[in-house]
Structure 1
Amino acid sequence: MNRTIRTTEDVLALLDRLFPPAADRWTSDASAWWDGFYADRSAGRPFFVPKPDEHLVSYLDRGLVAPGGRALDLGCGPGRNALHLAALGFDVDAVDLSPAAVAWAEERAAASGLGPRFHCGNIFDVELPHARYDLVLDSGCLHHLPPHRRIGYLALLDRVLAPGGHFVLSTFAAGAMGSERPDEDLYRVGGLEGGLAYAPEELRALFADFEPVEIRPMAEQSPDSPLFGVPFLLTALFRRP
């Protein structure tokens, strides 16, 4: 049977198949790739440190984001930001595709005595206990999405971010890390080349329905800093009207 396209999701699934499995790091089928990524906890990957993102801490310290409320962490990894938010009194749900990452996050939570809820699954179809969240955080998920899946990403934010809520993002920064090919070219080469880079103006355009509060490079942190910060990420804070 050759004529299988009849819905928007059929079109999106077809576009997914234009990327080889090794380049597809966001679907449920990619959990094995991420499990391999998190398998060696001593690998020294910068994201493995038990430290919260410096920009997230900055927003909270400066009062740009109010403490408390409900928070959703998309692509939480071993839970460093989810645990920080829980320590500040947020009611936290955190999602990751990798069972290995979620298991590590749950171990950290048990050791700290904090209680964020960790969910293993795809951010687009995971079942969450709340319909709306005051804070949605993405620390490295967006740049692994193929261009056509940004449609669902924006729909997800529209569905879960409460009016007046904040969206906190860090993503590969143009000129520092990630592919800067135009979206159309990515389908010609059949891959995301490790992740997509974004420039500030591209984030403003992508999240045009939100109010930009701050967009800046992540501030690099020294090894002895209590915060996580690497120079190849771009950070942003948006507010939903």
Structure 2
Amino acid sequence: MDRNIRTVEDVLKLMDQLFAPDADRWTTGGADWWDRFYADRAKPVPFFAAKPDENLVSYLDRGLIAPGRALDLGCGPGRNALHLASAGFTVDAVDLSPTAIAWAKERDARGEVRFHCGDAFEADLTGPYDLVYDSGCFHHLPPHRRVSYLALLDRVLAPGGHLAMVCFAREGGSELPDADFYRHSRLEGGLAYTPESLRRIFDQFTEVELRRMRDEPPESPRFGEPFLWTALFQAPE
């Protein structure tokens, strides 16, 4: 990047570099870390299983969301993207990790999902989407990239569309104030949120539901861990 800052994006990219030593960093260099994470498919990681999030299943069962165009942010091996496709959605899904995307494509034997490998903020994602689904992407963003996240939603989410997300509660991530992440140059494994902070960040949306994820037993066909928040917001018409 040119040393002379001229745009907001220049500032954001400069701030990204503060987290360069962080093994969890979400930027393009972080793809190597996520590739290592997804490389061993036999690891006992609950969300490696081809199970959709319990809240996503619940939204569909209760008619809170209806089939349309969907974007899955940070899709990993594709478990939620494939469930959305099976429910009648036309799905785009994006992830930084080539290993995760390759695994997702293997699971998608019928080629129902359009998978993209790369940075969601720079990918060629053509909205509008009726649903943006995010299971675990938002809480791995450094605080300044909330600006980019909200801008992405503004660009791709259809009027009246829904944002559905799963993110860390206090038991799952770090509760440090935003400024401390910059002092330490680490994301501490992920950022924890409260209902109040989520409502403040997404105050331009109407809250449909915000609750803890339900704990699902290992034999359940759904994924659920109680250290996570689930939220469903609706964009203005």
TM category, shorter? over 0.9
Which runs of no fewer than 5 residues in structure 1 stay unpaired?
none
1:156 equivalent among 146, 149, 152: 152
Deviations 1:5-47 (A, max 9, x none): 2222221122111113334532111111110000000011121
CA distance in 2, matches of 1:71, 1:19: 30
User: Superposed, which structure 2 residues align to 1:169-208 within 5 Å?
Assistant: 169-174=165-170, 176-208=171-203
Which amino acid is the alignment partner of residue 107 of structure 2?
R
Give the fraction of aligned pairs with identical amino acids, expressed as a percent: 66
- Give the aligned partner of residue 65 of structure 1: 65
CA distance in 1, matches of 2:211, 2:222: 17
User: Superposed, which structure 2 residues align to 1:103-118 within 5 Å?
Assistant: 103-110=102-109, 113=110, 115-118=112-115
- Give the aligned partner of residue 40 of structure 1: 40
Deviations 1:185-216 (A, max 9, x none): 11111111000000001000000000001000
Which amino acid is the alignment partner of residue 8 of structure 1?
V
- Give the aligned partner of residue 85 of structure 1: 84
Does structure 1 residue 134 correspond to structure 2 residue 130? Answer: yes
- Give the aligned partner of residue 223 of structure 1: 218
CA distance in 1, matches of 2:134, 2:233: 12
Which runs of no fewer than 5 residues in structure 2 stay unpaired?
none
Q: Secondary structure in 2 aligned to 1:22?
A: coil
For the aligned residue pairs, the C-alpha RMSD in angstroms reads 1.3
- Give the aligned partner of residue 212 of structure 1: 207
Q: Confirm or deny: 8 A CA contact 2:16 2:27 kept in the other structure.
A: no
Q: Confirm or deny: 8 A CA contact 1:186 1:192 kept in the other structure.
A: yes
Give the length in aligned residue pairs.
235
TM-score between the two structures when normalised by the length of structure 1: 0.94
- Give the aligned partner of residue 237 of structure 1: 232
CA distance in 2, matches of 1:81, 1:19: 29
CA distance in 2, matches of 1:24, 1:148: 16
- Give the aligned partner of residue 94 of structure 1: 93
- Give the aligned partner of residue 117 of structure 2: 120
Give the superposition deviation at 1:229.
0.3
CA distance in 2, matches of 1:142, 1:161: 16
CA distance in 1, matches of 2:33, 2:24: 9
Q: Secondary structure in 1 aligned to 2:19?
A: coil
Give the superposition deviation at 1:183.
0.3
Q: Secondary structure in 1 aligned to 2:158?
A: strand
Change in CA separation of 1:224 and 1:114 when aligned onto 2, cut-off 3 Å: farther
Q: Secondary structure in 2 aligned to 1:178?
A: coil
Give the superposition deviation at 1:177.
1.2
TM-score between the two structures when normalised by the length of structure 2: 0.96
Deviations 1:167-188 (A, max 9, x none): 10000012x1111000011111
- Give the aligned partner of residue 9 of structure 1: 9
Q: Confirm or deny: 8 A CA contact 1:52 1:80 kept in the other structure.
A: yes
Q: Secondary structure in 2 aligned to 1:165?
A: strand
1:167 equivalent among 142, 163, 169: 163
